[in-house]
């Protein structure tokens, strides 16, 4: 079988294909799955809505990268615009733009899935061989703390000074130039993203990849998928160019990621008994910035190289959270809803002296925390609703106090929240100023780079969308292999969990052909 990469501009007439497995989406889940299936001799066709780019396209310019490499040109948000949603859209999916932090799935999460969601057979011993394989292929290894940039160093040193848990991170890099521009696509192929690892593996083994090609509808009959209907897009505008692609696979694997995989199912009239799109989790992120006398230059150097799980478990009634650093490139640092007006001007003028630390709330673990919901709006666009619960507000408040204390312990002159106007704190004695502000929707800037769930895994068709073998309940030849199957948030960055689950899913999908 001869593999190929076809970009939208090269498709001039309708295309009709048949194959063993059609994979929709080329991100963390789809790529790992594709390589295994193609190397196993199966005829694989992959459809990717985003474009195919190489390192020469990555010029470190945020203004170029965000429209080119992110969903909705990086303007995706919840329906009430309270949460900005950063999510990738190109060959390689979010791995093209992610910040390379890798963690195996924590035991406490796997235990939670077993005891609360009935998921058997997913324990660290079972997953270990899968993680071993992807770690080897993606060069996942510890990034020495000595190479951490000053931004991450503030987190590390602040936590150490407070006696809090902290440590270096593992990253999927090989030959990393430490530029810090992972979020705009790696210009030196240091990041071991899907477009330079598992995608070429799959193409060499015979996979046919169609970039700029968005799956719009799944045709199905009597509990079986019969075809996938896709449109070829104009890369510049994102609008359909005219030609259509119809794939008739023996097996369909959906790997469009959280939000988009449920959306495609909903558009196709496959709502899984009303469960598709529900239980969507975001690891909601808040940012606290600290101004330092020394230059931090948080836009240079590996975006994330130290983390803290000091507050990951705050008991059965409160959301846990973890703390990391975020890159400080100017456009990212001025996310919608951040500083405004004069505050924004002052912030930008002093950007080199600001460190940006983030907290990520672990949603989906508390009883009754069902997270957000994906739906198709009347205008046909994807909608995402995500409630700001009292527990979330309490988690944000607690995380603000922790991050302010870290900054102060690391020597910050002044610490700003991303309320509008910001709370400004210069000493621990002023921490109570945090109580004077609210932590609900639109009270402060919130974003997500980790979308999870929407097609939750579980043994019971009454409470989940896919079985533990990734097969959609009630649809014989449809598998979902991406972040949408996660039944809760993880409490760690999700990419490696998705790589590992996709590696494990190869067998189930292959056996279904």
Ligand X SMILES: Cc1cc2nc3c(=O)[nH]c(=O)nc-3n(C[C@H](O)[C@H](O)[C@H](O)COP(=O)(O)OP(=O)(O)OC[C@H]3O[C@@H](n4cnc5c(N)ncnc54)[C@H](O)[C@@H]3O)c2cc1C
CA distances from 408 to 180, 212, 288, 429, 433 (A): 24, 47, 11, 11, 15
Q: For residue 309, state whether it binds ligand X (rule: CB under 6 A).
A: no
User: Least CB distance from residue 28 to ligand X, whole Å?
Assistant: 3
Instruction: Please count the other Cβ atoms lying within 10 Å of the Cβ belonging to residue 436.
Output: 8
User: Least CB distance from residue 95 to ligand X, whole Å?
Assistant: 5
CA distances from 63 to 74, 94, 491 (A): 10, 17, 31
Query: 478 and 222 in contact (C-beta within 8 Å)?
Result: no
Query: 145 and 168 in contact (C-beta within 8 Å)?
Result: yes
Tokens of 165: 């848990």
Residues 6+ apart with CB under 8 A from 272: 265, 455, 465, 472, 473, 474
Concatenated DSSP letters for 177-206?
---S-GGG--TTS-B--GGGTHHHHHHHTT
Site string for ligand X, 179-208 (x = CB under 6 A): ----x-------------------------
Alpha-carbon distance 81 to 84, whole Å?
7
User: Least CB distance from residue 231 to ligand X, whole Å?
Assistant: 9
Q: Which of 36, 51, 88, 364 binds ligand X (CB under 6 A)?
A: 88
Concatenated DSSP letters for 425-449?
ESSGGGGGGGGGS--STTTB-EEES
Q: For residue 256, state whether it binds ligand X (rule: CB under 6 A).
A: yes
Which of 285-293, 389-397, 491-499, 504-512 is the region at the interface with ligand X (rule: CB under 6 A)? Answer: 491-499
Q: For residue 337, state whether it binds ligand X (rule: CB under 6 A).
A: no
Site string for ligand X, 7-36 (x = CB under 6 A): -----------------xxxxxxx------
Instruction: Please count the other Cβ atoms lying within 10 Å of the Cβ belonging to residue 129.
Output: 11
> 258 or 374, CB closer to ligand X?
258
Burial of 13 (0-12, 13-18, 19+ CB in 10 A): exposed
Query: 305 and 149 in contact (C-beta within 8 Å)?
Result: yes
Q: For residue 498, state whether it binds ligand X (rule: CB under 6 A).
A: yes
Q: For residue 158, state whether it binds ligand X (rule: CB under 6 A).
A: no
Q: Which of 105, 280, 359, 493 binds ligand X (CB under 6 A)?
A: 493
Q: Which of 45, 176, 214, 399 binds ligand X (CB under 6 A)?
A: 214
Strands (E), 167-291: 167-168, 170-172, 208-210, 213-221, 224-233, 240-254, 280-281, 285-291
Q: Which of 65, 127, 247, 264 binds ligand X (CB under 6 A)?
A: 264
Q: Which of 78, 84, 95, 286 binds ligand X (CB under 6 A)?
A: 95
Q: For residue 47, state whether it binds ligand X (rule: CB under 6 A).
A: yes
Q: For residue 170, state whether it binds ligand X (rule: CB under 6 A).
A: no
> 103 or 439, CB closer to ligand X?
103
Residues 6+ apart with CB under 8 A from 204: 3
Nearest to 295 by CA among 234, 238, 350, 362: 350
Q: Determine phi and psi for 372, rounding to 5 degrees.
A: -105, 180
Question: Which residue's Cβ has the minimum distance to ligand X?
Answer: 27
Q: Which of 439, 495, 505, 506 binds ligand X (CB under 6 A)?
A: 495
> 217 or 424, CB closer to ligand X?
217
Q: Which of 21, 49, 155, 319 binds ligand X (CB under 6 A)?
A: 49
Instruction: Please count the other Cβ atoms lying within 10 Å of the Cβ belonging to residue 275.
Output: 19
Q: For residue 260, state whether it binds ligand X (rule: CB under 6 A).
A: yes
> 418 or 434, CB closer to ligand X?
418
Q: Which of 84, 87, 105, 477 binds ligand X (CB under 6 A)?
A: 87
Site string for ligand X, 99-128 (x = CB under 6 A): xxxx--------------------------
Tokens of 18: 């048949």
Q: For residue 339, state whether it binds ligand X (rule: CB under 6 A).
A: no
Q: Say how many residues touch ligand X, by CB under 6 A.
A: 43
Q: Buried b / exposed e across 66-82, counting CB within 10 Å, b at 16+?
A: bebbbbeebebbbbeeb
Q: Which of 78, 84, 98, 184 binds ligand X (CB under 6 A)?
A: 98
Give me the residues that bind ligand X (CB under 6 A), please.
Answer: 24-30, 47-50, 86-90, 93-95, 97-102, 183, 214-215, 255-258, 260, 264, 304, 449-450, 482-483, 493-495, 498
């Amino acid at each position: 079988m001869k593999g190929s990469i076809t970009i939208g501009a090269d498709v001039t007439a309708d295309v009709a294909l048949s194959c063993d497995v059609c994979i929709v989406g080329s991100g963390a889940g789809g790529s790992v799955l594709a390589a295994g299936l193609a190397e196993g001799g199966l005829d694989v066709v992959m459809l990717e809505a985003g474009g195919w780019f190489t390192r020469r396209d990555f010029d470190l310019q945020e203004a170029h990268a965000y429209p080119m490499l992110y969903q909705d040109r990086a303007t995706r948000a919840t329906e009430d615009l309270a949460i900005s949603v950063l999510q990738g859209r190109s060959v390689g999916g979010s791995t093209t733009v992610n910040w390379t932090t890798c963690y195996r799935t924590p035991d406490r999460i796997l235990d939670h899935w077993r005891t609360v969601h009935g998921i058997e057979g997913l324990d660290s011993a079972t997953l270990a061989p899968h993680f071993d394989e992807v770690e080897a292929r993606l060069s996942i290894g510890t990034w020495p703390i000595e190479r951490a940039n000053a931004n991450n160093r503030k987190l590390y040193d602040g936590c150490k000074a407070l006696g809090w848990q902290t440590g270096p991170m593992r990253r999927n890099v090989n030959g990393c130039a430490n530029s810090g521009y992972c979020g705009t696509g790696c210009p030196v192929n240091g990041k071991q993203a899907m477009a330079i690892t598992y995608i070429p593996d799959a193409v060499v083994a015979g996979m046919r990849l169609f970039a700029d090609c968005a799956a719009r509808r799944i045709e199905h009959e009597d509990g079986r998928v019969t075809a996938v209907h896709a449109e070829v897009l104009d890369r510049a505008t994102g609008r359909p160019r005219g030609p259509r692609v119809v794939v008739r696979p023996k097996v369909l694997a959906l790997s469009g990621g959280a939000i988009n995989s449920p959306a495609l199912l909903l558009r196709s009239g496959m709502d899984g008994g009303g469960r598709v799109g529900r239980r969507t989790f975001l690891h909601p992120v808040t940012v606290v910035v600290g101004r330092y006398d020394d230059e931090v230059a948080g836009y240079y150097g590996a975006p994330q190289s130290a983390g803290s799980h000091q507050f990951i478990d705050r008991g059965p009634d409160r959301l846990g959270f973890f703390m990391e650093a975020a890159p400080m490139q100017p456009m990212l640092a001025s996310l919608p809803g951040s500083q405004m007006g004069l505050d924004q001007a002052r912030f930008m003028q002093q950007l080199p002296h600001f460190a940006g630390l983030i907290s990520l709330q672990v949603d989906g673990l508390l009883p009754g925390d069902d997270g957000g919901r994906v739906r198709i709006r009347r205008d046909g666009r994807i909608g995402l609703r995500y409630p700001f619960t009292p527990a979330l507000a309490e988690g944000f408040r607690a995380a603000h106090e922790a991050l302010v204390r870290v900054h102060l312990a690391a020597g910050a002159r002044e610490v700003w929240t991303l309320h509008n106007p910001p709370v400004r704190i210069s000493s621990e004695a002023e921490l109570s100023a945090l109580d004077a502000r609210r932590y609900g929707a639109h009270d402060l800037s919130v974003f997500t780079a980790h979308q999870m769930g929407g097609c939750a895994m579980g043994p019971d068709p009454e409470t989940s969308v896919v079985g533990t073998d990734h097969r959609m309940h009630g649809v014989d030849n449809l598998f979902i292999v991406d972040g949408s199957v996660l039944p809760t948030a993880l409490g760690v960055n999700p990419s490696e969990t998705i790589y590992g689950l996709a590696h494990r899913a190869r067998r189930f999908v292959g056996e279904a052909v």
